[in-house]
Amino acid sequence: MSLGSRRLVHVLAAMGIAALILIAPATAFAETRPTLYWGTSGASVRLAQWKLSQWGYYRGAVDGVFGTRTSLAVRGFQRKNGLAADGVVGRATWRALGFGFTAPAPSVTARAYVMPSRAASVDLLARVIAAESRGEPYRGQVAVGAVILNRVAASGFPHSVSAVVFQPHALESVSNGLIWRRSPDSVAYSAARDAVNGFDPSYGSLFFWNPYKPVSGWIWTRRVVVQIGRHLFAR
């Protein structure tokens, strides 16, 4: 199977419409609460939504889907409570919500998780493109989306679009919150769809950066594949 075919298989798997995952029978041991971020779903998301709703930060449906409205509520709660407003429900945010980071073992033997839809993944990719490469040539915007998808398919990175985007310190626009302040336009959405459909102007790159800005010296150890606009793309 070619590299492009493998990437497509991984991307399609990561962006599947729905999947049923059976959880092992309950044990007597407590478990660590999962880290929640844009694109995750399930009972833990419903728990966070419910608490945020009780305290007036969240006014949407308690549906167990971590989307834009939930992320805005989480960041509002984090700012109010002196936490890093990154929109991620990790150890500190769980504790601030009053639940602690260690949860009792579940009493059910199985439950279903719904994976993020293709539309949700395209929306998140468009946000990344708008935040990271607005004003760049169209090919460069597609290439930014392609880098995210290349990481989904590569070993050493998380295997879903949302997990790659919200991997700690992976993207500057997530760390500084620009991804939520800048709304994607029609060009960003078009670039996201082209990337999802397999257009990869980065030629399989896993990294991109603006060499005209201060960057870590480590990034220059990567092999540069192509420059598009003001971004370098590398493996």
pTM: 0.58
Residue 50's identity, in one-letter code, is W
User: Whole-number mean pLDDT of the chain?
Assistant: 80
Positive or negative, the Cα torsion across 93, 98, 102, 108?
A: negative
Tens digit of pLDDT for each residue in 108-143? 333 343 445 667 778 889 999 999 999 999 999 999
Q: Are 58 and 52 in contact (CB under 8 A)?
A: yes
How much is the average pLDDT of 83-91?
88
